[in-house]
Chain A
Amino acid sequence: MIKKRFVLNFPPQSGDKPLSYNLVKDYDIRINILKAEVYPGKRGSLLLEMQGKKENIEKGVKYLTDQQVICEPLDKRIHFQEDKCIDCGNCTAVCFAGALTMNKNTWKLEFDKNKCVVCELCIPACPLHLFEIDFR
């Protein structure tokens, strides 16, 4: 069993298909919708956590791709310029998901991208503007 977060971008025509239902039914994947933005007839974006057997998740991702849905692991959509980080901690103040935390020994920033819920509060909270999230 693995658990992984994906960003799904739906083309306009796919909005009427019960894709997440099929992921559950056909591929035995436990899904958790963490964030959704749906603009009927235009586009839709979903942050989806999938839990299941590795091969089932791979098949599920292939199924989504076959339906013209762009499906990418969340960590590929988060861009953080770590080399420029000064470990000030401002981003940890707003990260209620616990993805951004300070290591209590080194006081350096730690970023567990798989805990991110794409609330996007870190983007303006970082005084050096080191975060970008490609969700839409």
Chain B
Amino acid sequence: MTHIKTYEEINRKLKEGKAVVLTAEEVVEMAKTASPKEIAEKVDVVTTATFGAMCSSGAIINFGHASPPIRMEKIKLNGVPCYEGLAAVDSYIGATACDPDNPAYGGAHVIQDLLEGKDVLLEAWAKGTDCYPRKHILTKININTINEFTLFNPRNAYQNYNVAVNTTNKIIHTYMGTLLPGMRNATYSTAGELSPLLNDPEMRTIGIGTRIFLGGSQGFVIWNGTQFNTTRPKNKYDVPVTNAATIAVIGNLKEMTTEYLKAVYYEKYGVSMFIGIGIPIPILDEDMAKRVSVNNSQIETSVLDYGSPGMPKIDQVTYEELQSGYIKVKGKKVRTAPVSSLAKARTIAGELKQWLLNGQFEVTEPVQLFPKNTTVKSLKEMEADND
């Protein structure tokens, strides 16, 4: 590496208003005429973003103690079951949780209702103990009555994701949208060259402690996400060609907005939540400059058949092709559609850029980098007796 910038130098420039910050799309444009060396010299931070459905999300809530107090052992918020195994009045509501009788309203909707300032019905049950005598409570809560309201998402911002098609003769409903029979459509869900983990594929600058844009406020990367996989096949630009790394994130929901957190319901699938995430990538050296310069024609992903058992890979395409409106799958022209919002991702990348330029935000050196050489196990079923 010929050119090295430190986090401290970048943050000093940000504070002095002298830093050059570009979005990942802007740096791709710059890379058409500038070399990685020139980019590393001129650019300090590149902002990346995504706004898509991220099912592994949820909120930690502390309700506060009532009088007389209750040790909540079964909890519902607007009828949606929440986790009851955390002390007396702590809970976790998962975005995808729902009452099976009301599948179109779930945990994500409860989080959105609370964010919008609405009252939410809390009902909880307990056996009653000497120190927590109460057995039942039915009351209303809102964002101002609860103590902590923390977004904690175990798996977000997948580094790349596959394209979904359906080769069968029946329409299918999936988290990748409605897939028409006979491969009459293909859906994809990554922001391509703007996507956070695709801009730092080796995760040299994204790790534990990284400060990020989360749901319209500041959040943090706190761990590698679940199903974290660093050993997926990569193409010649060092980009994994299918879903690979992930991040776990946390942030204060009381500071967030429904502009960047949105409850959704997929027909015959269930509830999920769109999460807005933006990550600033410090351009420490030529290698980082080279990574952020990778463009949509160089980022590839796998086309999977969601209609067949095991979802076999049937082709590989670039994001340039996906965004053109059509891809070729096994020689057949297939119409494409995104299922995550590139328009909103651009808004987030732009907003994060402004925060950095205004000196409101800084880049963070990871406290610890993510593990290397990880794989993902499938669930192997073993003989299990009930007794």
Q: Interface residues, chain A, CB within 8 Å of chain B?
A: 86-90, 92-94, 96, 102, 104, 106-108, 121, 124-125, 127-129
Contact = CB atoms under 8 A, between A and B. Distances in A.
- The listed residue with most B CB atoms (<10 A of its CB), out of A87, A104, A127, is A127
Given A96-B184, A121-B178, A124-B178, A90 B339 contact: yes
A96 B334 CA distance: 11
A88 B338 contact: yes
Nearest to B179: A93
Interface of B: 51-53, 173, 177-180, 184-185, 187, 262, 264-268, 272, 274, 323-325, 335, 337-344, 346
22 contacts: A86-B51, A86-B262, A86-B341, A86-B344, A88-B339, A90-B177, A90-B178, A96-B180, A96-B184, A96-B185, A104-B323, A104-B324, A106-B343, A107-B338, A121-B178, A124-B173, A124-B178, A125-B267, A127-B53, A127-B264, A127-B272, A128-B264
Contacts of B272: 127
Given A87-B343, A92-B338, 13 more contacts: A86-B341, A86-B344, A88-B274, A88-B338, A88-B339, A89-B341, A93-B179, A93-B180, A94-B180, A124-B267, A124-B268, A125-B177, A127-B53
A94 B178 contact: yes
B265 A107 contact: no
A107 B346 contact: yes
A127 B344 CA distance: 16
Contacts, number: 72
Given A92-B337, A94-B178, A102-B338, A127 B185 contact: no
Nearest to B268: A124
A93 to B, nearest CB: 4
Interface of A is mostly: loop
Contact of A93 (B178, B267, B324, B343): B178
A125 B341 contact: no
Contacts of A129: 265
A86 to B, nearest CB: 5
Question: Lowest 7 A-B CB distances belong to which pairs?
Answer: A127-B264, A93-B337, A89-B338, A124-B267, A107-B342, A87-B343, A107-B343
B340 A88 contact: yes
Contacts of A121: 178
A114 B14 CA distance: 50
Nearest to B191: A107
A106 to B, nearest CB: 6
- The listed residue with most B CB atoms (<10 A of its CB), out of A87, A121, A128, A129, is A87
Contacts of A96: 180, 184-185, 335
Contacts of B337: 89-90, 92-93, 102
Nearest to B260: A86
A125 to B, nearest CB: 5
Given A127-B53, A128-B264, A93 B177 contact: yes
A88 B51 CA distance: 9
Contact of A89 (B180, B267, B339, B346): B339
Contacts of B335: 96
A65 B225 CA distance: 62
A118 B343 CA distance: 27
A125 B265 CA distance: 9
Contacts of B323: 104
B46 to A, nearest CB: 19
Given A94-B180, A125-B267, A127-B264, A87 B187 contact: no
